[in-house]
């Protein structure tokens, strides 16, 4: 099993050195795949933590295009130019926080399901149902989680097989050691202030 050192503990705990934090924006994008080493996992998580996957709000022009698309498809009460401009301003203010993709979804739903131009409340009901695709940030963090799940399984397997070394135990995350003790693989030694392998007694009788 790969030694779980300082970098591993940093990734597990969600932290990083201050030097890593200041340099993370300069890192190149890693491959979005299941890491094979602690170092790859660390690099993937640092990159993911640096990403802002919040969708950008639609521009005023994009909002207007979606409103125009609905207006060309769905009938509405006749309005003069001044009222029309006011309506666009109201809808733009209400929908201004949503992404262009979310508004496109709203417009498609409105045109296929409604008989009249939707009210602001109906627009909000539709746009809030939009489910954006999984971002690369979320995907990368999920892959890091899978990597550490596999490492934990390896950790328990080596304890089960009796091939774990004390160095590996000392380097493992604290919650792993606690779980291993609950499962009977480790014991707490107050004198050494550490978790140690609970060796099976050979030839012991009940």
Closest of 110, 127, 102 to residue 74, by C-alpha: 110
Domains of the chain (ranges; CATH) run 6-51+135-173 (no CATH), 60-127 (1.10.8)
Residue ranges of E strands in the chain:
186-189, 194-197
Residue 59, class by beta-carbon neighbours within 10 Å (0-12 exposed, 13-18 middle, 19+ buried)?
exposed
Beta-carbon contacts of 15 under 8 Å, excluding residues fewer than 6 positions away, are none
Q: For tokens 């774990």, name the residue.
A: 164
Its pTM surpasses 0.85: no
At 148, list the tokens.
Answer: 């550490």
Closest of 20, 44, 35 to residue 141, by C-alpha: 44
Is residue 196 helix, strand or coil? strand
CA 133 to chain centre: 12
pLDDT tens for 118-134 read 999 999 999 999 999 99
Q: For tokens 């521009």, name the residue.
A: 59
Per-residue confidence band for 85, with pLDDT thresholds at 50, 70 and 90: confident
In this predicted structure, the answer to whether residue 78 has a pLDDT above a threshold of 90 is: no
- Interatomic CA distance for residues 15 and 12, integer angstroms: 8
Percent of the chain with pLDDT over 90: 70
């Amino acid at each position: 099993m790969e030694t779980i050192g300082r970098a591993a503990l940093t990734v597990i705990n969600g932290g990083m050195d201050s030097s890593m934090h200041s340099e993370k924006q300069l890192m190149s994008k890693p491959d979005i795949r299941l890491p094979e080493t602690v170092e790859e996992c660390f690099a993937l998580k640092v990159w993911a933590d640096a990403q802002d996957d919040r969708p950008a709000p639609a521009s005023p022009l994009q909002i207007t295009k979606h409103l125009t698309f609905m207006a060309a498809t769905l009938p509405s009460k006749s309005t003069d130019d001044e009222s029309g401009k006011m309506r666009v301003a109201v809808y733009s203010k209400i929908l201004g926080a949503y992404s262009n993709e979310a508004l496109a979804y709203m417009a498609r739903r409105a045109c296929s399901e409604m008989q009249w131009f939707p009210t602001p409340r109906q627009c909000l009901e539709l746009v809030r149902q939009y489910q954006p695709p999984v971002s690369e940030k979320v995907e990368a963090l999920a892959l890091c989680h899978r990597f550490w799940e596999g490492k934990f399984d390896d950790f328990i397997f080596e304890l089960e097989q009796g091939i774990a070394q004390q160095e590996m135990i000392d380097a493992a995350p604290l919650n792993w050691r606690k779980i291993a003790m609950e499962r009977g693989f480790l014991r707490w030694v107050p004198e050494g202030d550490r978790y140690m392998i609970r060796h099976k007694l050979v030839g012991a009788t009940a």
